[in-house]
């Protein structure tokens, strides 16, 4: 499909990876709904084994950038430790997609969802506080 976006982005938009709504997950988190593009929303579910993300799924509603960036966020997070997962930011996802037009950056909502899922997991597993600072710029 022709596009103003990179071939990688279009590939992840037309064939998004890690899509699913697992009935059982260790934790989940939501991201999106910001003032600029309130319609872009992602939910991320994780299963954790030995401190690593063993399985990750997302359900994303939104524009091509929202969907492709959720797909890429999951690809980047798969197999990573929880600490590494918290380092997956918007910038990392943009880099992996080969670039995203600046006015579409706010549609990248999965890193926020992923961080929330990780924090929810940590809270559940270790009793850590949930109210960590919001992953701004994430």
Partner 1 sequence: MLDLTAIRADFPILQRTIRGKPLIYLDNAATTQRPRSVLETLQTFYTTYNANIHRSPHLLGQEATELYEQAHANVARFIGAEDEREIVFLRNTTEAVNLVGVSLLRPESGPLQLRPGDEVVITVMEHHSNLVPWQALCRQAGLTLRVADLREDGTLDLEQFAALLGPRTRLVACTHVSNVLGTINPVAEIGRMAHRVGALFFVDGAQSVPHMPVSVREIGCDFLAFSGHKMLAPMGIGVLYGRRELLEQMSPFLYGGDMIADVTLEGATWNELPWKFEAGTADVAAGIALGGAEDFRSGRRLLGAIDYLEALGMEEVRAHEQALLERLLEGLKGMPRLHIYGPEEIERRGAVVSFHVEGANPYLVAQLLDDEGIAVRAGGHCAHPLARRLGIPGTVRVSPYLYNTPEEIDQFLAVLEEIVRRRLP
What is the CA angle 84-89-94, rounded to 5? Answer: 125
In whole angstroms, how far apart are CA 91 and each of 70, 73, 76, 125?
13, 11, 12, 29
- Nearer to partner 1 by Cβ, of 45 and 121: the residue is 45
Among 27, 46, 53, 67, binds partner 1 (CB under 8 A): 67
Alpha helices, DSSP H, located in the chain: 7-14, 64-77, 82-85, 90-97, 110-126
Of the ranges 16-24, 27-35, 82-90, 118-126, which one interacts with partner 1 (CB under 8 A)? 16-24
Contact residues for 84 (Cβ-Cβ < 8 A; gap 6+) = none
- Nearer to partner 1 by Cβ, of 34 and 101: the residue is 101
- Nearer to partner 1 by Cβ, of 4 and 129: the residue is 4
- Nearer to partner 1 by Cβ, of 10 and 132: the residue is 10
Among 6, 11, 52, 59, binds partner 1 (CB under 8 A): 59
Return the bridge partners of 48, or none.
Answer: 53
The least distance separating partner 1 from the CB of residue 21, rounded to whole angstroms, comes to 6
What is the CA angle 30-18-39, rounded to 5? Answer: 40
How many chain residues bind partner 1 (CB under 8 A)?
Answer: 25
Contact status: 2 vs partner 1 (CB under 8 A): yes
State the DSSP code for 42: E
Q: What is the binding site for partner 1 (CB under 8 A)?
A: 1-5, 10, 13-21, 38-39, 59-64, 67, 101
């Amino acid at each position: 499909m022709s596009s103003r976006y990179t071939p990688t982005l279009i590939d992840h938009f037309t064939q998004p990876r890690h899509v699913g709504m697992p009935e059982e997950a260790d934790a989940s988190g939501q991201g999106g709904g910001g003032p600029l593009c309130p319609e872009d929303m992602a939910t991320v579910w994780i299963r954790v084994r030995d401190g690593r993300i063993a399985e990750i799924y997302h359900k994303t509603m939104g524009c091509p950038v929202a969907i492709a960036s959720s797909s890429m966020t999951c690809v980047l997070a798969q197999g990573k430790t929880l600490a590494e997962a918290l380092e997956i930011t918007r910038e990392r996802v943009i880099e992996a997609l080969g670039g995203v037009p600046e006015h579409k950056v706010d549609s990248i909502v999965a890193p926020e969802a992923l961080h929330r899922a990780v924090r929810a997991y940590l809270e559940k597993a270790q009793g850590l506080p949930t109210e960590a600072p919001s992953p701004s710029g994430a």
